[in-house]
């Protein structure tokens, strides 16, 4: 995946050092209607203390914003409070927060975009009180077990208990001979946590439904000349996790307004998702978001990151050279229409990329109804024959939120590999080391999501 260094990239570097940031003119500030309250936030809301909202796998949290769950005292309604620092790196950034508020006001009519409830201000912070998306980030479904994986302390405690049991067997001259995660925990505790990844992965039907909703939100933004510029798994939330809810797009901190007759060039985004024109400091357009939609679709379908390299430099090279291999193993099980959808977005030339509206009409998303009918028919036939439905998507759909530990087949392989990764103690029972290393690589690849970068200096190679 490492292409040779290209002159295009060195051009980017030299051009990038000349700070030509016209972003300020693209901020939306004119018409903030929301009252900015100054009474103490805690008088009106109970902040739920403990872990802040957001994926524990992301390293980017806690810099300028913290998001916490809170409850409005008068109504008992839950909200997400985003606490944003006004001063960042010695600069007054209040205006950036006002921009975020203005965008949220503008997007209020779209039910695919998170709703702004109230705004508070203290001498140091601004607090955006947002509709609470209880299902968390779709990131969690795509990279999975972060939250659910054991801490080292938990591994030690559980391993101690396992050893107590095994020692008891051995004292009684019994060898188990088939110790694996499914056998270790009473009540399936270990099993459930280790396979969380498998169970929580989206089915293709779910990806299609959620992608349709993401596109509705993005189309709304684009119709209003707003580009999000940080579309990523962590910024697509779900109203509920089980049953799988609807999507809400969040985080308009990097969003910009596109002005007619004025070019917007900036170096912003999150490395794995940025479009080639960002790296080459060429004009930003709605097509810049569409590139990120292509990356999102790839990730949601395969749970791997298409351009991720060993470091940022390699990631940027992969992007600028569109270094993507459509013969990759993880793409082989996808329908041709899904690949076509991704291909219509991961195109270097922004003008050639499909728009949000075109994507909404793409045959991959349209197929849904027909496929669903076929699935229903299959399961009806299976039911009539008193057998388990054979359709892979219908069975995985069932497993997506409520599966038990009784499943068999390919899941076991996944389980063993995940266990080997998580616990570092288990040994896989299947003999093929080549398959194993491939899978482990795929999993570790999924963990490496990087922080956003907001200034030019950070991408200088
Ligand atoms: N309305 C919400 N409901 C539930 N969780 C939320 C909500 N808003 C934000 N979060 C959680 O907090 C995280 C951080 O929020 P947001 O992206 O708006 O802040 P940020 O500081 O700009 O983050 P980043 O630096 O990752 O871009 C989100 O990825 C999400 O997990």
Tell me, using a 6 A CB cutoff, whether residue 114 lines ligand 1. yes
- Mean pLDDT, the chain, integer: 73
Ranking 317-321, 341-345, 434-438 by mean pLDDT, the lowest is: 434-438
Atom of ligand 1 nearest to the CA of 234: 29
What is the pLDDT averaged over residues 356-382?
A: 73
**DSSP H or E segment with residue 431:** none
Known catalytic residue at 147: no
| Percent of the chain residues topping a pLDDT of 90 | 49
Determine contact, residues 107/37, Cβ cutoff 8 Å. Answer: no
**209 CB burial (10 A radius; 0-12, 13-18, 19+):** middle
pLDDT at 385: 47
Question: Given the CA of residue 130, which atom of ligand 1 is nearest to it?
Answer: 1
Catalytic residue among 147, 178, 230, 333: 178
Q: Is the CB of 115 under 6 A from ligand 1?
A: no
Ligand 1 geometric centre to CA of 96 (Å): 16
Average pLDDT in the 234-238 region?
94
β-pairing verdict for 91-92 and 136-137: unpaired
Task: Tell whether the model's pLDDT for residue 193 goes beyond 80.
Answer: no
Which has more confidence, 300 or 443?
Answer: 300
pLDDT at residue 176 in the model: 57
Is the pLDDT at 195 greater than 50, yes or no?
no
pLDDT, tens digit (0-9, with 9 covering 90-100), for 134-156: 998 888 777 655 444 455 555 56
CB 231 within 8 A of CB 218: yes
Closest ligand 1 atom to Cα of 67 = 12
- Ramachandran sector of residue 261 (left: φ over 0; alpha: ψ -120 to 50; beta: rest): left
Q: How many CB atoms within 10 Å of residue 110?
A: 19
Q: Is 253 in the pocket of ligand 1 (CB under 6 A)?
A: yes
Pairing of strands 116-121, 36-37: parallel
Please name which of 322, 314, 329 lies closest in space to residue 294, comparing C-alpha atoms: 322
What does the angle CA 129 – CA 288 – CA 444 come to, to the nearest 5 degrees? 75
Q: Band of the pLDDT at 268, cuts 50, 70, 90?
A: confident
Cβ atoms of residues 256 and 223 within 8 Å: no
Instruction: Please indicate whether residue 182 or residue 240 has the higher confidence score (pLDDT).
Output: 240
Backbone angles phi, psi at 384, to 5 degrees: -60, -35
Out of 79, 82, 296, mutate this one to test ligand 1's pocket (max ligand atoms within 8 Å of CB): namely 82
Helix (H) or strand (E) holding 232: none
* pLDDT greater than 90 at residue 23: no
Average pLDDT of 370-395? 47
Q: According to the model, what pLDDT value does residue 191 have?
A: 39
Q: Which residues pair with 126 in a beta bridge?
A: 84, 121
If one compares 325 and 441, the residue with the highest pLDDT of the two is 325
Strand partners, 45: 72
Q: Is 250 in the pocket of ligand 1 (CB under 6 A)?
A: yes
Task: Calculate the alpha carbon distances from 451 to 6, 27, 230, 252, 421 in Å.
Answer: 24, 22, 11, 16, 23
Residue 25 CA to residue 95 CA, distance in Å, equals: 12
Distance of alpha carbon 253 from alpha carbon 98, whole angstroms: 10
Q: Is the CB of 137 under 6 A from ligand 1?
A: yes
List pLDDT tens digits, range 39-55. Answer: 999 999 999 987 788 75
CA–CA separation, 99 and 34 (whole Å): 12
Pocket test for ligand 1, best of 53, 66, 99, 143 (most atoms within 8 A of CB): 53
Residue 8 reports pLDDT greater than 80:
no
- Give the pTM: 0.69
The arithmetic mean of pLDDT across residues 153-176, rounded, is 62
234 in contact with ligand 1, CB cutoff 6 A:
yes
> Quick one: which atom of ligand 1 is closest to the CA of 64?
21
The preferred substitution site among 45, 57, 67 for testing ligand 1, maximizing ligand atoms within 8 Å of CB, is 67
Residue 305, pLDDT > 70, answer yes
Distance CA 60, CA 54 (A): 10
Q: Where would I find the H helices in 232-285?
A: 276-279
| Ligand 1 within 6 A of CB of 454 | no
Which of 156-165, 173-182, 333-342 has maximum average pLDDT?
Answer: 333-342
Whether the CB of 270 sits within 6 Å of ligand 1: no
DSSP state of 188: G
User: Around Cβ 281, how many Cβ atoms within 10 Å?
Assistant: 18
3-class SS letters over 32-47: CCCCEECCCHHHHEEE
Tokens standing for residue 212: 């349709």
Look at residue 16 in the predicted model and tell me its pLDDT. 26
Of the candidate ranges 63-77, 236-250, 253-267, 395-409, the one whose mean pLDDT is the lowest = 395-409
pLDDT interval class at 261 (50, 70, 90): confident
Flag whether pLDDT at 423 surpasses 80: no
What pLDDT does residue 10 have? 23
Give the model confidence (pLDDT) of 212-226 as tens digits.
Answer: 999 999 999 999 999
């Amino acid at each position: 995946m490492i292409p040779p260094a290209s002159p295009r990239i060195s051009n980017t570097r030299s051009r990038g050092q000349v700070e030509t940031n016209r972003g300020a003119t693209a901020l939306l500030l004119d018409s903030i209607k929301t009252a900015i309250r100054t009474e103490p936030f805690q008088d009106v809301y109970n902040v739920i203390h403990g872990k802040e909202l957001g994926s524990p796998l992301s390293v980017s949290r806690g810099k300028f914003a913290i998001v916490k769950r809170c409850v409005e005292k008068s109504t008992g309604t839950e909200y997400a409070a985003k606490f944003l620092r006004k001063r960042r790196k010695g600069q007054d950034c209040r205006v950036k927060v006002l921009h975020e508020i203005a965008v949220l006001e503008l997007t209020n009519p779209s039910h695919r975009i998170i709703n702004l409830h109230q705004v508070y201000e203290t001498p140091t912070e601004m607090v955006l009180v947002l509709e609470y998306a209880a299902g968390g980030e779709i990131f969690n479904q795509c990279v999975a077990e972060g939250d659910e994986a054991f801490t080292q302390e938990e591994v030690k405690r559980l391993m101690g208990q396992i050893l107590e049991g095994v020692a008891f067997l051995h004292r009684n001259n019994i060898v188990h001979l088939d110790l694996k995660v499914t056998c270790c925990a009473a009540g399936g505790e270990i099993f459930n946590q280790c396979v969380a990844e498998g169970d929580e992965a989206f089915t293709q039907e779910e990806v299609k439904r959620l992608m349709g909703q993401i596109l509705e939100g993005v189309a709304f933004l684009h119709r209003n000349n707003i580009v999000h510029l940080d579309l990523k798994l962590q910024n697509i939330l779900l109203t509920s996790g089980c049953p799988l809810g609807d999507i809400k797009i969040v985080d308009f901190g990097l969003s910009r307004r596109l002005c007619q007759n004025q070019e917007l060039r900036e170096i912003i985004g999150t490395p794995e998702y940025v479009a080639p024109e960002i790296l080459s400091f060429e004009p930003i357009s709605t097509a810049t978001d569409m590139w990120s939609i292509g990356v999102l679709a790839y990730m949601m379908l395969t749970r791997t990151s298409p351009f991720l390299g060993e470091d940022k430099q390699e990631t940027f090279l992969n992007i600028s050279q569109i270094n993507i291999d459509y013969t990759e193993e993880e793409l082989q099980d996808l329908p041709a229409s899904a690949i076509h959808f991704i291909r219509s977005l991961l195109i270097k030339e922004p003008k050639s990329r499909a728009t949000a509206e075109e994507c909404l009409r793409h045959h991959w998303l349209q197929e849904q109804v027909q496929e669903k009918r076929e699935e229903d028919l299959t399961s009806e036939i299976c039911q009539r024959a008193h057998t388990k439905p054979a359709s892979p998507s219908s069975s995985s759909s069932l497993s997506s939120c409520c599966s038990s530990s009784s499943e068999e087949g390919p899941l076991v392989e996944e389980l063993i590999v995940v266990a080997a990764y998580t616990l570092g103690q288990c040994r896989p029972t299947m003999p093929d080391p080549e398959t194993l290393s491939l899978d482990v690589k795929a999993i570790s690849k999924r963990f490496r999501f990087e922080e956003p970068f907001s200034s030019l200096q950070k991408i200088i190679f």
